[in-house]
């Protein structure tokens, strides 16, 4: 009697597979005057974060980190998370001023309010990007990881 091999679960996409998607979103969101790159080998510094962005406004550069939890998330949530992180770029100057000029307690309150606003932007933009740009798909476990 021949036995069927157990079904293999698809492998998660690698972080670096999101780089082309991020580049397309940068163009779509018209922030292509910024140099945005993906930290392909590292998760965010905060273990609770799905993703993170660090911006240098004066140099118009930003780096994005994606967590392991992000890689396991649904395509809708992945799309929302990346759009959310990129939306921070629109507010980079105000974020820099708030971070450097506000007293710590006031900054924490401002930051929470600001995150709600960035989420509202992502809520509006992320679903519209779905038809235009495709996310990386999980790979079959038969495909070797590079």
Label residue 138 by pLDDT band (50, 70, 90): low
Query: Does 8 fall in a domain?
Result: no
Region 105-113: mean pLDDT is 93
Q: How far does CA 122 lie from the centroid of its chain?
A: 11
Query: Does 52 fall in a domain?
Result: yes
**Quick check: 89 and 54 in contact, CB under 8 A?**
no
Q: What angle do CA 90, 96, 102 make, to 5 degrees?
A: 130
Please compute Rg for the chain using Cα positions.
Answer: 18
Domain that holds residue 45: 15-129
Query: Does 116 fall in a domain?
Result: yes
In 3D space, the residue among 33, 94, 21, 30 whose CA is nearest the CA of residue 62 turns out to be 33
Tally of domains in the chain: 1
- List of residues 6+ apart from 15 with CB closer than 8 A: 38, 39, 40, 41, 66, 71
The answer, yes or no, to whether residue 144 has pLDDT greater than 50, is: no
Quote the pTM value: 0.83
């Amino acid at each position: 009697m021949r036995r069927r091999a157990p079904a293999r679960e698809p492998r998660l996409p690698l972080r670096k597979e999101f780089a082309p998607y991020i580049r397309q979103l940068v163009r779509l969101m018209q922030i292509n005057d910024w140099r945005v790159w993906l930290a392909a080998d590292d998760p965010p510094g905060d273990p609770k974060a799905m993703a993170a962005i660090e911006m240098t406004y004066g140099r118009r550069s930003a780096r994005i980190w994606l967590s392991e939890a992000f890689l396991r998330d649904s395509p809708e949530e992945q799309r929302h998370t990346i759009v959310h992180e990129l939306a921070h770029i629109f507010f980079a100057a105000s974020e820099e001023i708030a971070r450097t000029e506000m007293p710590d307690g006031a900054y924490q309150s401002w930051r929470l309010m600001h995150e709600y606003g960035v989420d509202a932007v992502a809520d509006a933009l992320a679903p519209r990007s779905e038809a235009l740009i495709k996310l990386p798909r999980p790979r079959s476990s038969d495909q070797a990881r590079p």
